[in-house]
Amino acid sequence: MNHQQSNPLNSHKDMSTDMDSKYNHKLQSRLQQLLTALQLDDAPAGGAVMVWQYGQPLASAQVGQARLGQAWSVDTLALNFSTGKGVLVTLIHVLVSQNLLDYDIPIANYWSQFGCHGKEEITLRQVLSHQAGLFDITSVTTNSLDMLNWQNMIEKVALMQPSQADAKEAQSAYSALISGWVLGGLIEQVCQMPLNQALRQYLTEPLGIADAVYFGVPQAKLNQVAQLSKSFESSDAYDTQHRSTKPKLKADSEQRLAQYQALPSYRCWQAYIDKDEQHIPQASDKALTTLQINKLYFDVAHLSKSDYKKSLVANTREPLDYYHPDSLMAQIPAANGVASARALATIYAMLAQGGVWQGKTLIDAQTLQKLAEIEVGGADAVMPSATVVYDGVYSKPSMQWRLGYHRLFSVCHEVSQGFGHMGYNGSVAWCEPSRGLALSFVHNFDTTMLTDIRQFAITEAVLQWVDEMDELTASV
């Protein structure tokens, strides 16, 4: 289907107004049912989803508790890990659009301290596309608590040297942590103001979401941030070492497997898995597991474990607990972004609208075109993207890095124009400009992107429903 950037509901206006309301209501109902089903057996934890199309809210849903006795809403603040990178790089693009930055000028031209130890010619383009070799957090510090000190980390990163990934065939190495201090430090240099002030002035205030997006939550807002449900029972849930327990893959119960089979994308998933498992008798009769579904999107066979660890964890024995109040209040822009579902969806709705919001241009057309172009077509050393499959066409495993965003993960729909960013916990926010579509999903499930399917189930379902709605309205 050829999706146009103009809203199909603009034609036959009187008749389509009623249809618009009817189908929006249907989508709202479907989305709520889906999110309720995807709570699975993880209650009381939950989350929120928000969908925009053509610059207008289309549907939203919420389920479960964000904190003890506090229900989720689309305005609940949530820790979204690397989903916050999409916020940070969007701010970068606003600054490029205002001629404060250039993708191809060495960062050292803006930040003299950065221009040393092999980084003299590194450009913003290389950092945004994860091709700068600045990914090894262990080369900067092996003390996780150092990451809580913004100024200390800015100075350390300015003096670091690039690293070579162990995965020699990889075309990029995802900078899970380092990129946040590089980009944040650069923003402070060119704006001559603290990072959060620049975020507010150039991005969140113009979008009307200034009190719903943070890199470092104000202390007064800590009690508004969703917690993991395992901490609901005690106010002393955090030990003094800020240690974190890595989420573990839950065994698939019969109920969970049955709930998967009721998802809109299940038949699509089954079809691809059947193709890959033709040697297994009656493969289509077997209930798909969490790992089988997740593998359609992330194939760890392509993962370099050594590069993965060096990029994501400063100290594997004493990892940082990102939910600890000290961590939430710290500035770790690549990893501790806190925002509501509404705020994230608003940012991507602006991108889906061509960089324009309520008549004001935040990102000009030339910059928008550049940020959406694929910079890396091959494999990444750190992120285990699976083979891209659509309509029987296979391509190489790739994150398809743009300038700070990765591809929209779908195996059931054509989304070549889509881009966004997901987080370590499986949160996600993205836009698909050809559909005028933007979506965000935030939550407090104790999961990782490699042990969960929720973001993929939500993405596939919304794309299917919106396409159905567009086809129906276009036929009027």
Return the CATH number at 132.
3.40.710.10
Please enumerate in sequence order all residues whose Cβ is within 8 A of that of 191, keeping only pairs 6 or more positions apart, or say none.
95, 100, 197, 198, 201, 202
Please give the structure tokens belonging to residue 174.
Answer: 């995802």
Which DSSP helix (H) or strand (E) runs through 460? helix 454-474
* CA-based end-to-end distance of the chain: 16
Query: What is the per-residue DSSP string for 76-121?
Result: -BEE-TTHHHHHHHHHHHHHHHTTS--TTSBGGGT-GGGS-TT-TT
pLDDT given at position 395: 65
Question: One-letter amino acid identity for 65?
Answer: Q
> In this predicted structure, what is the pLDDT of residue 67?
97
**What whole-number distance in Å separates Cα of residue 295 and Cα of residue 307?**
20
The CB density around residue 37, as the number of other CB atoms within 10 Å, is 14
Report the distance separating Cα 155 and Cα 187, nearest Å.
14
Model confidence at 300: pLDDT above 90 = no
- The reported pLDDT for the residue numbered 277 is 54
Residue 412 domain boundaries: 8-228+294-474
pLDDT at 142: 96
What is the mean predicted confidence (pLDDT) over 160-170?
94
Contact 33, 62 (CB under 8 A): no
Name the β-bridge partners of 52: 57, 438
Task: Check residue 19 and give its pLDDT.
Answer: 53
What number of CA atoms fall less than 13 Å from residue 204's CA on the CB side? 22
Do the domain assignments include residue 315?
yes
pLDDT above 70 for 279: no
What is the chain's Cα-based Rg? Answer: 21
pLDDT tens across 95-149, in order?
999 999 999 999 999 999 999 999 999 999 999 999 999 999 999 999 999 999 9
Question: What is the reported pLDDT for 191?
Answer: 98
Q: Does a structural domain hold residue 206? A: yes
Helices of type H across 161-295: 178-191, 195-199, 205-207, 254-261, 266-276, 290-295
Cβ–Cβ < 8 Å for 411, 394 = no
How would residue 18 be classed by pLDDT, with cut points 50, 70 and 90?
low
What are the two backbone dihedrals, phi and then psi, of residue 58, each rounded to the nearest 5 degrees?
Answer: -105, -45
- Residues 279, 280, 281, 283: is their CA dihedral positive or negative? negative
Number of domains in the chain: 1
* Two structure tokens written together for 77: 């603040």
d(CA 416, CA 220): 42
Q: Does residue 62 lie in a domain region?
A: yes
210-249, pLDDT tens digit by residue?
A: 999 999 999 999 999 999 998 887 555 454 444 456 787 8
Instruction: Note the pLDDT of residue 211.
Output: 96
Average pLDDT, the chain: 90
- The alpha carbon dihedral of 281, 282, 288, 293 has a sign of positive
- Encode pLDDT of 52-85 as tens digits: 999 999 999 999 999 999 999 999 999 999 999 9
Nearest to 203 by CA among 345, 369, 92: 92
Q: Would you say residue 284 has pLDDT above 80?
A: no
